[in-house]
């Protein structure tokens, strides 16, 4: 009997430990429009991020836009055709996810280190003011050891654009086109965790089997770089395995993990007060 | 009388020079204003080097007027904290990413050699999830300036004008609490900065008055909060009328809460938190 008690106590201790390690499960955010701003044609469909959450938002009635920053000229078989083939496959992927459109900015692939940050940022600010997204998703600007120069540059530019779009004195010329200042209220950053300790997720976003299937379809839309899966099983597991692993971290079947910047995280001294005292009009 | 004079001489002899580097007008006040104020109240001399002109941070004022008003207001705020001089480098706010890092470094280095500070306050460039990159660029430049200011082969022309190499013995990295891992010690090596919490119970009121002096920035913050709430169908009773009283109240809530967050887990009720490298934190000779 004593052994049973010990066993139960150990089990309880283990489950407490496991619960303490869980990444908090996020609720579906409030809003209707989201922008995914990344560097390449296939960044929004990779194993660890975005596709499942994007599909869930689309299912909930949100309108999503994918901002592809580079022209992807080097990704695939041949320089010339790569540009067009990768764009078309990105458009296919976006359709699978239920998003509306790919907005291609056409910066030179793998040359973003020398792209002027302010010019890239200015284009994002314009799009944020145009679409007024409730959510923006991108690479984590504070992630470590991502060796891709385009990812790093895009992340930095997005990290500034999401809040600077709210300042009227930043690109005041936009006002002449009717584009009012707008600060993005919620930002979700993704990154491989095994790149280093820079990116530590603080939220998990769950999605269902149908959304996982669409994430899988979106991933394999990129035939120019990913070819064809070895078997239907390999195709299924390619997205199911990482989604399940992330789901385990939050105690659900399938999920993707993010570092989320919440609505008032830019004002740490006022966050609690605003959350407590803001009320419906 | 004699004792009083002796005490005065003693305090003058031990008085330090404190150089504060800030990116934007409010940064040093919100993250370090109480500690700086305590130093000046104790007889130390403090000087502020402000890197940007804050020309973006207003509500419906053109950049030129924003910059002009904020300059006067930050000088007033600095005075409240006991800072005797303000030197503005005048870079356009939120555009430091396009400025040569070496240029910013060398301009800060100039002031380090000119004033020969004992203590340096700089924005912490290693803090994560602080979205204002002006603080990142300024912090990196200032950290490098402190190092370069001590080395004779940097800025040879300066030496010709009497600006000799100078070692700043104490370094405070400051930041608002954006980084969820900011309390983690970076390393146990003796030459690595360590977390330091400074109680500001005796100076928080001065810090608050300094923060409230930044009227243009504060009004902008209040209006932008109101706008963000309106965009999502909400309101804040405090900001139904955005006047001086409402803005000052908002600033007070902010300053007191920041002090409470920094004090968490410390013996203080109100504090500021830093990464600190003091005179004892030197790179060992064998590693130089």
**Cβ contacts of residue B89 below 8 Å, gap of 6+?**
B49, B50, B51, B52, B104, B107
Q: Which residues of B touch A168 (CB under 8 A)?
A: 59-60
Q: What is the pLDDT confidence band of residue A84, given thresholds at 50, 70 and 90?
A: confident
Q: Which residues of B touch A142 (CB under 8 A)?
A: 128-129
Q: Is B5 within the bounds of a domain?
A: no
Question: Looking at per-residue confidence, does B58 or A20 come out higher?
Answer: B58
Least CB–CB distance from A169: residue in B58, B180, B255: B58
Least CB–CB distance from B228: residue in A160, A185, A261: A185
Q: Is it the case that residue A3 has pLDDT exceeding 70?
A: no
State the pLDDT at residue A31. 92
Alpha-carbon torsion angle B8, B9, B14, B16, nearest 10: 70
User: What does DSSP say about strands A255-261 and B83-91: parallel, antiparallel, or unpaired?
Assistant: unpaired
What whole-number percentage of chain B has pLDDT above 70?
A: 91
State the pLDDT at residue A10. 47
Cβ A266–B131 below 8 Å, yes or no? yes
Helix (H, G, I), strand (E, B) or coil at A105: strand
| Domain spanning A30-264: CATH superfamily | LmbE-like (3.40.50.10320)
State the pLDDT at residue B6. 60
**What are the boundaries of each domain within chain A?**
30-264
Which of residues 102 through 131 in chain B touch A, CB cutoff 8 A?
Answer: 128-129, 131
Q: Is it the case that residue B256 has pLDDT exceeding 60?
A: yes
What ipTM was assigned to the predicted interfaces of this complex?
0.89
State the pLDDT at residue A147. 81
Q: Is it the case that residue A271 has pLDDT exceeding 70?
A: yes
State the pLDDT at residue A1. 45
State the pLDDT at residue A144. 82
State the pLDDT at residue A45. 86
What is the domain count for chain B? 1
Cβ B129–A116 below 8 Å, yes or no? no
**Cβ contacts of residue A260 below 8 Å, gap of 6+?**
A26, A186, A187, A188, A189, A202, A203
Structural domain containing residue B156: 16-282
Q: B70, B174, B232, B264: which to substitute to probe chain A, counting the most A Cβ within 10 Å?
A: B232
Average pLDDT, chain B: 92
Helix (H, G, I), strand (E, B) or coil at A11: helix
Q: B239, B257, B263: which to substitute to probe chain A, counting the most A Cβ within 10 Å?
A: B257
Task: Report helix, strand and coil shares of chain B as percent, to nearest 5.
Answer: 50, 15, 35
Q: Is B1 within the bounds of a domain?
A: no
Q: Is B8 within the bounds of a domain?
A: no
Alpha-carbon distances of A179 from A73, A130, A158, A165, B149, rounded to whole Å: 32, 6, 18, 10, 46
Q: Is it the case that residue B179 has pLDDT exceeding 50?
A: yes
The mean per-residue pLDDT over the stretch A112-138 comes to 95
State the pLDDT at residue A16. 46
Q: Is B6 within the bounds of a domain?
A: no
Q: Is it the case that residue B242 has pLDDT exceeding 90?
A: yes
Q: Is it the case that residue B57 has pLDDT exceeding 80?
A: yes
Q: Is B2 within the bounds of a domain?
A: no
State the pLDDT at residue B155. 87
- Kindly state the tokens that stand for B153: 């082969």
Q: What is the pLDDT confidence band of residue A13, given thresholds at 50, 70 and 90?
A: very low
pLDDT digits (tens, 9 = 90+) for A203-226: 999 999 999 999 999 999 999 989
Q: Which residues of A touch B174 (CB under 8 A)?
A: none
Lowest mean pLDDT across B47-56, B141-150, B170-179, B181-190: B181-190
The size of the A-B interface in CB pairs under 8 A is 104
Cβ B131–A159 below 8 Å, yes or no? yes
pLDDT digits (tens, 9 = 90+) for B121-138: 999 999 999 999 999 999
Q: Is B274 within the bounds of a domain?
A: yes
Q: What is the pLDDT confidence band of residue A239, given thresholds at 50, 70 and 90?
A: very high
State the pLDDT at residue A14. 46
Q: Which residues of A touch B (CB under 8 A)?
A: 30, 116-118, 142, 156, 159-160, 162-164, 166-170, 172, 181-183, 185, 198, 200, 202, 259, 261, 263, 265-270, 272-274, 277-281
State the pLDDT at residue A17. 43
Average pLDDT, chain A: 90
Best-predicted range by mean pLDDT among A40-44, A166-170, B269-273? B269-273
Q: Is it the case that residue A266 has pLDDT exceeding 50?
A: yes
Q: Is B251 within the bounds of a domain?
A: yes
Alpha-carbon torsion angle A155, B138, B272, A269, nearest 10: -50
Q: Is it the case that residue B120 has pLDDT exceeding 90?
A: yes
* CATH number of the structural domain spanning residue B99: 3.40.50.10320
Q: Which residues of B touch A198 (CB under 8 A)?
A: 128
pLDDT digits (tens, 9 = 90+) for B24-45: 999 999 999 999 999 999 999 9
Q: Is B64 within the bounds of a domain?
A: yes
- Kindly state the tokens that stand for B138: 């300024």
A178 to chain B nearest CA, in Å?
15
pLDDT digits (tens, 9 = 90+) for B59-114: 999 999 999 999 999 999 999 999 999 999 999 999 998 899 999 999 999 999 99
- Asked whether the beta carbons of A167 and B61 are under 8 A apart, the reply is no
């Amino acid at each position: 009997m004593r052994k049973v008690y010990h066993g139960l106590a150990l089990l309880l201790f283990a489950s407490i430990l496991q619960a303490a390690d869980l990444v908090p499960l996020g609720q579906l955010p409030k809003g209707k429009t989201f922008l995914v701003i990344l560097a390449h044609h296939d960044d929004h469909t990779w194993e660890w991020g975005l596709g499942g959450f994007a599909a869930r938002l689309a299912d909930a009635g949100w309108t999503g836009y994918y901002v592809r920053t580079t022209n992807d000229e080097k990704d695939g078989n041949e320089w010339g055709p790569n540009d067009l083939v990768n764009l078309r496959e990105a458009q296919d992927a976006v359709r699978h996810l239920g998003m509306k459109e790919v907005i291609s900015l056409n910066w030179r692939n793998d040359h973003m280190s020398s792209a002027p940050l302010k010019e890239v940022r200015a284009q994002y600010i314009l799009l944020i003011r145009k679409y007024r997204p409730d959510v923006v998703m991108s690479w984590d600007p504070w992630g470590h050891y991502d060796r891709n120069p385009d990812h790093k540059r895009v992340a930095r530019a997005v990290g500034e654009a999401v809040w600077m779009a709210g300042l009227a004195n930043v690109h005041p010329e936009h006002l002449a086109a009717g584009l009012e200042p707008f600060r993005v209220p919620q930002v979700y950053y993704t990154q491989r965790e095994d790149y280093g300790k820079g990116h530590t997720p603080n939220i998990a976003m769950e999605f269902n089997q149908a959304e996982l299937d669409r994430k899988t379809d979106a991933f394999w839309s990129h035939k120019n770089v990913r070819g064809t899966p070895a078997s239907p099983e390999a195709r299924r597991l390619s997205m199911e395995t990482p989604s399940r692993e992330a789901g385990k971290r939050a105690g659900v079947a399938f999920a993707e993990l993010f570092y989320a910047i919440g609505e008032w995280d830019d004002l740490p001294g006022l966050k609690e007060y605003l959350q407590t005292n803001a009320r419906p009009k | 009388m004699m004792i009083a004079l002796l005490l005065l001489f003693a305090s003058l002899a031990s008085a330090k020079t404190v150089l504060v580097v800030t990116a934007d007008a409010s940064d040093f006040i919100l993250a370090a204003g109480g500690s700086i104020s305590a130093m000046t109240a104790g007889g130390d001399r403090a000087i502020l080097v402000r890197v940007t002109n804050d020309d973006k941070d207003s509500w419906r004022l053109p950049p030129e007027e924003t910059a002009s008003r904020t300059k006067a207001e930050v000088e007033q705020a600095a005075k409240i904290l006991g800072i005797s001089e303000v030197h503005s480098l005048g870079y356009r706010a939120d555009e430091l990413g396009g400025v040569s890092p070496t240029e910013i470094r060398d301009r800060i280095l100039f002031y380090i050699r000119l004033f020969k500070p004992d203590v340096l306050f700089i924005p912490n460039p290693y803090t994560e999830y602080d979205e204002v990159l002006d603080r990142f660029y300024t912090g990196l430049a200032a950290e490098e300036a402190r190092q370069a200011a001590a080395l004779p082969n940097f800025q040879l022309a300066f030496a010709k004008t009497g600006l000799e190499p100078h070692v700043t013995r104490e370094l405070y990295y400051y930041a608002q609490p954006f980084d969820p891992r900011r309390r983690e010690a970076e390393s146990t090596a003796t030459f690595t900065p360590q977390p330091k919490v400074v109680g500001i119970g005796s100076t928080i009121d001065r810090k608050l008055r300094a923060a409230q002096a930044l009227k243009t920035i504060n009004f902008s913050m209040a209006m932008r909060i109101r706008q963000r709430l309106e965009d999502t169908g909400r309101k804040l009773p405090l900001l139904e009328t955005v006047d001086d009283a409402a803005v000052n109240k908002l600033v007070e809530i902010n300053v007191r809460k920041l002090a409470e967050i920094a004090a968490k887990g410390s013996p203080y009720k109100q504090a500021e938190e830093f990464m600190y490298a003091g005179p004892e934190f030197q790179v060992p000779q064998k590693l130089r």
